Amino acid sequence: MQKQSAILFTDGSSRGNPGPGGWGTILACGDRVRELGGRENKTTNNRMELMAIVSGLRAVSRDVSAVTIYTDSTYAMKGATQWMKGWQRTHWQTKAGTPVSNRDIWEQMAEVVVGKKVTWTVIAGHAGIPGNERVDVIATAYADDQAIGLYDGPANEYSVDIEKITPDMDTRLKKDRSKQKAYSYLSLVNKAAHRHKTWASCHERVSGTKAAKFRKAVSLDDELAILKEWGVTSDEVHDVDEE
């Protein structure tokens, strides 16, 4: 019988470090998809990332020879591909002579990868990759001790597009916007658009006003795109001058 290949999407979450945490995994193999999840009352994010991977690998059937793992944890990937063999040689001690964190899970990792060709792919978290977004939902639901339905059924009936592994640029832009320097701040109140130099000025105009819109623009092109979305031309924008 020809051996199959499998895909795992994995993620972990913790509310505090340590704190209550959860993990989520999507296992896709052949024409089947199965979601997995779990929880620990006092844990760390790194531990939950590892639990998601180990639990997924344990669920892979014996006739699967190759597994591709999609994770947003560089810690998990580097630990498995660069550090783990060295830890085994030093009896799970770091170079500094201290015990390896999460040794119990790393020992399980060393066991479950035996006999499998594992390909590790680090993907961007919260970037609009459907598989990653779904395992994040599962992990956070378990961390928050909330009920969540887990899918187990035919791949062609699964609602998550696990074939899409490239970041959604609109999602990445929204995520990165808060870190970028403002070109301007825009407000729209009663169909009148204003351009502000500071967030304080923009906030003062929209605060307490129903149906107001506001947005930080990070470039001239971004500003024009926002105004177009609002149905406003640049000529209709009033500049607010601050001293």
- By annotation, the residues acting in catalysis are 11-12, 49, 72, 126, 136
**Own/partner long-range contacts of 235-240 (Cβ < 8 Å, ≥24 apart):** 236/193, 237/186, 237/193, 237/194, 237/195, 238/192, 238/193, 238/194, 238/195, 239/194, 239/195, 240/194, 240/195, 240/196, 240/197, 240/201, 240/205
CA distance 45 to 63: 31
HEC per residue, 134-197: HHHHHHHHHHCCCCCCCCEEEHHHCCCCCCCCCCCHHHHHHHHHCCCCCCEEEEEECCEEEEEC
CA distance 209 to 202: 12
Count of residues making up the chain = 243
Smallest Cα–Cα separation from 21: which of 55, 46, 2?
46
224-227-232-236 Cα dihedral, nearest 10 degrees: -60
Amino acid at 87: W
